[in-house]
Amino acid sequence: MTLRPPYLTARRLAATTAVLAALLLLSIAGAMLVGPVRASVWRALTDAESTDHVILFRTRLPRVLLGAVVGGSLGASGAALQALLANPLACPHLLGISGGAAVGGVVALIAGAEAISFVVPLAAFAGALFAIGVVYLCARAGGRSTPYALLLVGVVFNVLASAAIMLINVIASYSQAHGVLFWLMGSLSGQSWQLIAAAAAYALAGLAWLAAHAQDLNLLATGEEGAAQLGVDVERARRAIFVAASLLVGAAVSVSGMISFVGLIVPHLIRLVLGADHRLLLPASFLGGAAFLVWADALARTALAPAELPVGVVTALLGGPFFLFLLRRELARAAS
């Protein structure tokens, strides 16, 4: 006998979201206390000039908050794209958006733009916008796109982007190539409060955009024909969801570099626990992705202290086995 999650009511939606938001706040507070150097919370709160205050509120807190914003963006976009593409193995980074953002960021780094804090994220976001346009236009045929075409074009675009990055690395100097490699592996350090605030506002707007199409995603899960019969403009809904999710991925990559598998792991775990209703799944994946990346970054800061791992390495080590598990499960399900 299979147990199904209870029907989604406004009360359950509010209660579940409140619990996950509380867990995220506890995660942010807990991750602030984790690091290679111990810091006193009391001294940090009572003496704004102390080393403890600098460690907790000027070094760790911005990094933890950025991790929450990036993780939330990747989690929500992953949930939307998996439903849109009708593929439980779909990851936001497979669609070419992250590849385009990476090329834009790498070009800016090689050009020496890292001296101006906002230029590299802006260039990466411009690369993401370019990738969105190319993938969507190339996947259209006869005035409409299909999930299969979007996924296939995205994978091909990522391959081309990887080739472009390798070509740029060949002609770059050693120090530039090292900086590019570290950025590509994902990092949450060194961002300004202004950039974090802008990324947070952008992420919440993107989440609201996706949430407005949550019922369309629920209906699309029944199939295109069924959704169309129930009044969904399939092509318009697909375009809006694809653009919103892609813009969230591009923004996340632009401020953090390549952090993979968050958009694959978190939506699956949330779906197993809370069900597949996107009215709940989208905000829950946002909050769950935020908490997941906050703790993944805490692990990256402490696992090899005083050395630091790129957070993208940690998420890849966690996500790779999980992806293989999902693949084996889907193959077994298809065989049966």
Does residue 75 fall inside a structural domain? yes
Q: Which tokens hold the place of 267?
A: 């939506």
pLDDT at 10 over 50: yes
Strands 144-145 and 140-141: antiparallel
pLDDT band at 296 (very low <50, low <70, confident <90, very high): very high
Q: For residue 187, what are the CA distances in angstroms to 71, 84, 127, 311?
A: 12, 29, 18, 6
| Residue 173, domain extent | 10-335
Q: Are 129 and 255 in contact (CB under 8 A)?
A: no
pLDDT at 6 over 90: no
Provide mean pLDDT across the span 80-100: 82
Does residue 4 fall inside a structural domain? no
Where is average pLDDT lowest: 167-176, 208-217, 235-244, 263-272? 167-176
- The CATH number for 86's domain is 1.10.3470.10
Does residue 1 fall inside a structural domain? no
Does residue 215 fall inside a structural domain? yes
The predicted pLDDT at position 2 comes to 40
Does residue 62 fall inside a structural domain? yes
Does residue 95 fall inside a structural domain? yes
Does residue 274 fall inside a structural domain? yes
Looking at the chain, the number of H-run helices and the number of E-run strands are 15, 2
Where is average pLDDT lowest: 42-46, 88-92, 196-200, 240-244? 88-92
Does residue 3 fall inside a structural domain? no
Q: Total domain count for the chain?
A: 1
Query: Which long-range contacts (C-beta less than 8 Å, at least 24 apart) are formed by 19-22?
Result: 20/283, 20/284, 20/287, 20/288, 20/291, 21/287
| pTM of the predicted model over 0.85 | yes
The predicted pLDDT at position 117 comes to 60
